[in-house]
Amino acid sequence: MKTPPNSEDELEEGNESEEASLLFREGARFGELHLEVGMKFGTKWEFREAVREYTIQESRSIKIVKNDNIRCRTMCKVKECPWVAYASRDHEDTCWQIKTFNDDHTCPREDKNRATNRNWVCSKLVKKGINGCKKCSVWG
Question: Could you report the per-residue pLDDT of 66-102, keeping only the tens digit for each?
Answer: 888 889 999 988 889 999 999 999 887 789 999 999 9
Give the separation between CA 128 and CA 60, rounded to whole angstroms: 28
Contact (Cβ atoms closer than 8 angstroms) between residue 85 and residue 51: yes
pLDDT at 121: 73
pLDDT at 57: 85
Give the separation between CA 139 and CA 90, rounded to whole angstroms: 41
Q: Which residues contact 51 (CB under 8 A, 6 or more apart)?
A: 35, 62, 74, 85
Residues β-bridged to residue 63 = 75
Question: Could you report the per-residue pLDDT of 16-28, keeping only the tens digit for each?
Answer: 444 544 766 665 6
pLDDT at 133: 55
pLDDT at 94: 83
pLDDT band at 61 (very low <50, low <70, confident <90, very high): confident
pLDDT at 136: 47
Does residue 86 or residue 58 have the better pLDDT? Answer: 86
List, in sequence order, the alpha helices (H) in the chain. 8-21, 44-57, 118-125
Looking at the chain, the whole-number percentage of residues with pLDDT higher than 70 is: 67
pTM of the predicted protein model: 0.66
Whether the pLDDT of residue 4 is over 70: the answer is no
Q: What is the domain partition of the chain in residue ranges?
A: 20-117
In total, the chain counts a number of residues equal to 140
- State which amino acid sits at residue 122: C
Whether the pLDDT of residue 135 is over 60: the answer is no
CA distances from 127 to 17, 24, 118 (A): 31, 21, 15
Torsion sign, CA atoms 16, 21, 25, 28: positive
